[in-house]
Structure 1
Amino acid sequence: MSSCLKHKSHSFPAGRDFALASNNNKRPKRGPPPNNALDHDVLSAIFSLLDCCQDLVSCSLVCKTWRTAIAKCKCFEALYYKQWQMGLVRGLCLEEMAGVTHRLALLQSRWINVDHWKGHSVNIDQCRHKDGLLLTGSSRKKFMHLWSPEESRKCVYKFQGEYRVPVDYGPLVDFDFDESKIVGLVGSKNSRICIWRRSGMTRILNPFKCKGTFPKGLCMSYCDPEAVVGCADGTARVFDMYSSQCSQILRMHDPEVPVTCLGLSDEGSRLSILAGGGSSITVSSVLLPDHEFAAKLHIAGEIKTLSYNPCGNERTVFAGSSNGYVYGWDLRTCM
């Protein structure tokens, strides 16, 4: 991957996925992804050539465009009704059939082990994995469960404890954890950061409400001693967990583009922050007390999730988008 930008330098080789943050530079034009290049009528004509309901279900897993076309396709209704008459399907909708197909494909693979267990009584909408431990959370019930693998069976997880959000603090928005504590972002309007000690179940160590105006927090990430919150106004706010105060406010995106996902890396005195929002990821380095901009990465589609876990010499970031694609960059060539 070609080099894109060295701190405040203003030149790098032209590339598909990288663009400078300068207002004078326009975002490079790109054609639509291959699977979105066909309109609904063409897709319907292609899918009508398939005579197996299972093949159509598998195609519906590719992207939202394909799933919509198949769901509205008459051939799928005909094949589904035929299999229903034969007793091969029992009232499952397309989404449920796709989920079953996906799960069976994973279970039948020789290289993938899938384990599942009942973790919550309601839906799980937050999950973090770190140092072999798994932390799951439910914003509806406002509690988190911590799991650890059993020594005898590495694929079997054992329940370690439950951590609850106080009733009057609002929903659980996001969380992160390390070897000694859990840090959570709670509240839909008035955002708070709470800390739980892992040594004591359901005990809050240091809840605090951020001083001053604090726009709606949408996501957070934690790297001791800083917690970074992505806000609806396009900023990332760095909080010192020991003083309970906001130490920096960083402009990551335009005000109308919220920060919806974050990634952190702590390298000595430098804190690298990756903030995803809209169709771009801002990579910045915080060299206290100055904020140095590094690079801006663009993708086609809206960023839904971001993964950045540097290990050794690896500096790879992955982003999942709304169009079904996974994008990856090696940040060693970008910073």
Structure 2
Amino acid sequence: MEESGSRRRLIRGFGDDVLLRIFAHLTLRSLAQCAVVCKYWNKLIESSSLLWRTMYTKNYKTLKATVGLTFMSKIAKLSLPRSNNETVTDWKSRAVQEEQCAQLLSGSISIQPWKAHRGRVNCCRMMMDYIASGSSDRKIRIWSSKSRHYMEEYTLPTSAAIVDLDFDTNKILGIAGAELYIWRRDGKRRLLRQMGGHNQRLYSMCHVDPEVSVGCEDGAIRIFDLYGGGCSSIIRQHTEAVTGVGVNADLHLLASCSRDGTVKLCDSFSGEKVASLSSKSSLAEAHCLQVISDGLNKLVVGTASGHLHCWDMRWF
């Protein structure tokens, strides 16, 4: 206890102003590492608008010297819109997004392909250093991104192909045919639960405990209770199959896209419609959807025409 108290006094001994000046000289990666040292540093870093504004300005000058004006003009087109009253989140998001855009435009790319399944790989998810893949061979495998060897394997009890999946430290979720399957990751890898009963083919899913949202062939989104084992609600937003669903837990929004070319937002609690999204270019048949949280709050939809459409979910 005495040692932890001494460390605490040492960490706080510099004062907020001195610490912020030190943090301002770091890279974004180093700043992120400092944010997990202790709660005091985390709160100081997360709440300082001046720090993130300084990081953005410094980063801009560095990137301008590194990638040149041509790349910076491209980055400016991809950046967040400016407002008169920038918040901490705005400056933080701007600094991080600028760094990410620069890496995409000028960074090196390392491609490491490997043979994962005998059949077609229909879906994949990544969490920390683990990758989950689902295939038409009825198998879900959990891989190490470092060794590229699979450590766990789960097999469907039917001949249907896995079309979408999700996983966390305790369980694996996958959809195939008209059924939702849940496996327990406790070493025994046993099938914990199988849910269906609506006779509709499933195309997409999104898992936010304690619920799973699945996109169905009839244009509806069915919400399943993971622990109760049944369908708790049905949200009807589309006229054709729902090919993508995603939840922004911070904004309480459920997003969905469909083969009918529509993208919808509804309240994730009540199911009430919030918005029907459109783009400057006409939306073709929507094939996939991704909700990006972590302060960015973006919604990205891919269509059959080869276009990507992106919206800021904070506008709704």
**TM-score calculated relative to the size of structure 2:** 0.61
From 245, 248, 261, the counterpart of 1:262 = 245
Q: Does 1:145 align with 2:120?
A: no
Alpha-carbon deviations, 1:173-206, whole Å to 9, x = none?
A: 321112211111122xxx2211111233542112
Mapped to 2, the partners of 1:148 and 1:258 lie a distance apart of 33
Identity among equivalent positions (%) equals: 30
Greater RCO, CA 8 A, separation 6+: 1
Residue identity opposite 1:274 in structure 2? A
Residue identity opposite 1:204 in structure 2? L
- Matched ranges for 1:122-271 at <5 A: 122-139=119-136, 141-150=137-146, 156-167=147-158, 170-187=160-177, 191-200=178-187, 202-210=189-197, 213-254=198-239, 257-267=240-250, 271=252
Q: Runs of 4 or more off by more than 6 Å in structure 1?
A: none
From 294, 301, 307, the counterpart of 2:274 = 294
Mapped to 2, the partners of 1:279 and 1:207 lie a distance apart of 31
**TM-score calculated relative to the size of structure 1:** 0.58
Mapped to 2, the partners of 1:121 and 1:159 lie a distance apart of 14
Residue identity opposite 1:276 in structure 2? C
Aligned-residue RMSD, C-alpha: 2.0
* Residues 1:201 and 1:138: Cα distance change in structure 2 (over 3 Å): farther
* Residues 1:209 and 1:292: Cα distance change in structure 2 (over 3 Å): closer
The residue number in structure 1 matching 2:112 is 115
Residue identity opposite 2:113 in structure 1? H
Mapped to 1, the partners of 2:249 and 2:271 lie a distance apart of 14
Secondary structure at 2:120 match in 1: coil
Alpha-carbon deviations, 1:31-63, whole Å to 9, x = none?
A: xxxxxxxxxxxxxxxxxxxxxxxxxxxxxxxxx
Deviation at 1:225, TM superposition (A): 0.9
Residue identity opposite 1:327 in structure 2? H
- Check conservation: 2:221, 2:236, Cα contact below 8 A: yes
Deviation at 1:325, TM superposition (A): 1.4
| Structure 2 alignment gaps of length 5 or more | 1-105
- Matched ranges for 1:31-50 at <5 A: none
Alpha-carbon deviations, 1:106-143, whole Å to 9, x = none?
A: xxx8521111112112321221223332111112x100
Q: Does 1:315 align with 2:301?
A: no
- Check conservation: 1:163, 1:201, Cα contact below 8 A: no
Deviation at 1:307, TM superposition (A): 1.1
Mapped to 2, the partners of 1:167 and 1:245 lie a distance apart of 20
Residue identity opposite 2:143 in structure 1? W
Deviation at 1:147, TM superposition (A): 0.9
Judging by fraction of residues, say which structure has more helix: 2
Mapped to 2, the partners of 1:293 and 1:235 lie a distance apart of 13
Secondary structure at 1:200 match in 2: coil
Alpha-carbon deviations, 1:67-101, whole Å to 9, x = none?
A: xxxxxxxxxxxxxxxxxxxxxxxxxxxxxxxxxxx
Residue identity opposite 1:240 in structure 2? D
Deviation at 1:271, TM superposition (A): 4.4
Q: Does 1:272 align with 2:268?
A: no
- Check conservation: 2:166, 2:207, Cα contact below 8 A: yes
- Check conservation: 1:164, 1:202, Cα contact below 8 A: no
Secondary structure at 1:115 match in 2: coil
